[in-house]
Structure 1
Amino acid sequence: MAKKVKYYFDTESLAYRKIKPKLSKKVGYVALFLLSSGLFGFLCFVALLNTSYLETPKDRLQAREIETMKLRYAILNKKIEEVEVVLAEVEDRDNSIYRAYFNTSPIPAEQRKAGFGGVNRYKELEGFDNSELVINTSKRVDIVSKQLAIQSKSLDEILKLAKDKNKLLAAIPAIQPVKNEQLKRMASGFGYRSDPFTKARKMHQGMDFTAPTGTPIFATGDGVVKRADNTVSGYGNHIVIQHGYGYETLYGHLSKYKCRPGQRVKRGDIIGYVGSTGRSEAPHLHYEVHKDGKPVNPINFYYGNISAAEYIVISKMANQENQSLD
């Protein structure tokens, strides 16, 4: 199609002449065309950059780095799982073996596995494409780190208890307070018994050993004499020894003392003599063992100086619901 030619009428020559466009106008049209073409091309290029059809070397490098990061996080999570399994076994041994052996309370599971409440510790990790992966892994690392810190502290405590084991073994009240050959009989054991004065059935918190007045009484474990007096109603002249590790022993109805408050005694030391002072029906020793402030059955602690056969005999006598002597 031929290009349109424009004419104008020249009044001087009375003829039609061609209209010739100015050069500046031609240049303007060309510049406008080039500018619009360039802008359109740039917009198309930007659009292609945001699609999968055009991938730059930098994009490919970033994609490889992201895949490598995901692989490393997967490996890290696998290692965390292995650590969690091993740590769970250590925690189980710590509670059921180590702490049981050293007679100390286990660490509750809720304390070991407690999370991190309150402030959001992972806010700066939010808002990214892989935030969930990074946040979950960070949480697992933090929880395992806390569990390891608790377990490390527990093992430090166990190590200290192991170093003090000999002291612990010496402190536990592990022998009878009166020798077998000096006993007339084991009169009454731990549990509900008939009161000798009121005949009512009530809890007897210790064991009664009948023996002649003046029979030696022995400290059943290492410790410090807390009291040696008759100020507590019912016990008459009595002695209380603090052994440490939560253990305390009481010796009641003595005829006289062979120790004083504040004195350190060893297992087997003579601390006093059998009598019938206080609320007592006949010469005997009333003996109690307390652990963490609560009375426990003394018969469970006589492994230091009696045989298995003797233990069976004493156990049968102690379990008879007879009348106590105090």
Structure 2
Amino acid sequence: MRWRRTRKRLKKYLFERLTLTLIPHSRGSMRSIRLPRIVFIFIILSLVAYFVSVTYLYQNYFNRYKQALDTIVSLQKLKTENMTLKTGLAQVAKETEKMRKILLELEKKGEHIESLISDTSVATETNVVKDLILFNYKLLDDEGMQPLGGGEGEGLLKSNGFELLSQIREELRMLRVEIPLQKSILEELQMDVEEYNALMAATPRGWPLDDDGKGYISSEFGFRKDPVTNEQAFHEGIDIAVWYGTPVLATADGKVIYAGWKSGYGKVVIIDHGYGYQTVYGHNSKLVVRKGQRVKRGDIIAYSGNSGKSTGPHLHYEVRVNGVPKNPIEFIKFR
């Protein structure tokens, strides 16, 4: 009952007719419009909704416009930074490539030195330079240097670009200091190694015959009774008893300074190895080298025989240091 009375009152209120009187400024007659109250309420609410909507749309448009303007300013700033970074990176990349070429030369020099000696620790001389170069290439290819995306921002670098560029430049500064030092060290090391290898190549060593181990020392270095004269005499080398025609080998690199007949020695070869070393190979049956010829350790220079002052097939082998005969056994042991 109560709900019905309330409903009845509300309906009466909403549909109660109200008079709207229109009074013109001119002398025209007044006009009146009678409409239910609900129509006036609807008109007022519609006007309020319209103004709220217009206000919201304007505020939204203003916010989007400001956001777009800020984005454009930000993009222009990023493009400027991007160009600066690209210019800096181009210079860094060019210098890094130059450093890489220098490193390759140093690596080749290091590999050459390693090939000259068995000590692989030489490779560590180039490690610092190599690590620095590789680090710079890692920085240049690092994910932090990748583009941000498409559109106007394509190719823009991340915010840590300037810090990264500064880090690369610092590494390059270190390289400019380190590379000349490493190059100097390697060049000095190469000269030392080459000098050492030249000395080793010139130092007589090993057995002077290709005899499959069948030869033996029949007369040692020092004072002995001469087998021909039967008198006490100083033997300036060793005699190695071996089959006739056994290949005689050079025991070090050098230059043949004599190849021919020599009193007492018969058919003899004398090689100058440098650094004061000379070797003598006597009593041969046949010589296969000539004066002025360069030979390497292990080259066949003659064939053993019984020429000259000899009582049987053998090789007379001498080692001289600065013109002074030395015991060849010490050099044979030095293999």
The structure with higher relative contact order (CA 8 Å, sep 6+) is 1
TM-score (norm. length: structure 1):
0.43
User: Larger radius of gyration, structure 1 or 2?
Assistant: 2
Structure 2 length-normalised TM: 0.42
